[in-house]
Structure formats: structure tokens, C-alpha cells
Structure 1
Amino acid sequence: MQEALMLVAAGRGALLTAAHTATYHARPGVSYVPFTDAEPVGYGLVWRAADNSGAVRAFARAALKASGRNVPA
């Protein structure tokens, strides 16, 4: 994220990002312009397939439970 914002601030591109980015990644030289007609952004957990350990699966279940969504068996 920081590299992308650095490029935006240098005039070398633009970035589509979630609204909370303006709060958590405020940066001089970068303006955040909301899209009022865009669909909400969904989030999900990702991890390397090779790292599919019990600890990763337990964390994923806990995160899903904390989100208030149904936890699969």
C-alpha cells in the first residue's frame, strides 16, 4: 500500500481502494475521492496453500465467528 501511495503522490498512477484507506493511510500529496455509486468492497482471508496448518485454520474460524457469519463445520 505504501509503495502504491508513493507512486500516486509522485503523479505516476492512480489507485482504487476501500474508503477506510483515507483514514488509515493518509498521505501528503494524495487525495481520496469517494465513488458514490460503487458496490461495497468485500474482504476475505488469504494464505499460502502450503501454510494450511491447524493454527491458520483455527484463526480463520475465529475471524469468521467474530464477523458474525456462520462458521462451517
Structure 2
Amino acid sequence: MPDHWLEQRRPARTPGGRPIGRGPAVANMQEALMLVAGGKGALLSTAHSATYHARPGVTYVPFVDAEPVGYGLVWRAGDDTGAVRAFVRTAHEVAGSPA
């Protein structure tokens, strides 16, 4: 990932300039949540994570002063099938076209 993208998603410092420490590396959301539940750190996550990744020992605390997180559809190169195109069309109809 480009440095500017990483800095936006996992800044090295707070807005006030204090350094933000790094926890252990993880490979997926479940590993991250296990560490959080075990008291080994915290995790910035999207709002829907509280619904889809609820688990004992983890509390989700919303905050309103962060930039919105954008989403996009992705699929493997070369797998642009009729089903994929139909799904993309339907997603755009339901969610609206990207800004």
C-alpha cells in the first residue's frame, strides 16, 4: 500500500502529535479481534463491524470526527463474467453510483 494510504488508515501520530504505538501484526479480522479481546491493543474498524464481528470481550465505540470509509467491489482479473456484471449493475442501482 502507498505510504499516504497507510498514514490515513493507521496514522503514526494523534492529531495532537502523540505517537501511536503498533501492536502485533495480524493476517485477518479474527486474529485482530482475538488480540483486542485479550487486552493486546485496539483496532479502528468500520461501523458495520459491530454487527458482523460482535464477540465477547470486544466493545465497539463509535466516533463521529473521522473521514467516511469508502467501499468498492473487487473481483479477480479475468473473471468478468455475466454474473459479475449483473451484480455490479444491481449494486449500483441499490447503492447509487460512486461519487
The TM-score by the shorter chain falls in which range? 0.7 to 0.9
Q: Residues 11-38 of structure 1, C-alpha deviation per residue, up to 9 Å, x if partnerless?
A: 3343211112113322111121222210
Root-mean-square deviation (CA, aligned residues, Å) is 2.0
What letter is aligned with 1:60?
V
Moved more, 31-40 or 11-20: 11-20
Identify the structure with the greater helix proportion. Answer: 1
- Within the candidate set 41, 58, 62, 2:69 is matched to 41
- TM-score normalised per structure 1: 0.73
Is structure 2 residue 83 aligned with structure 1 residue 51?
A: no
Q: Percent identity?
A: 74
- TM-score normalised per structure 2: 0.58
Higher RCO, 1 vs 2 (CA within 8 Å, ≥6 residues apart): 1
Structure 2 equivalent of residue 60 of structure 1: 88
Structure 2, gaps ≥5 residues long: 1-28
Number of aligned residue pairs: 70
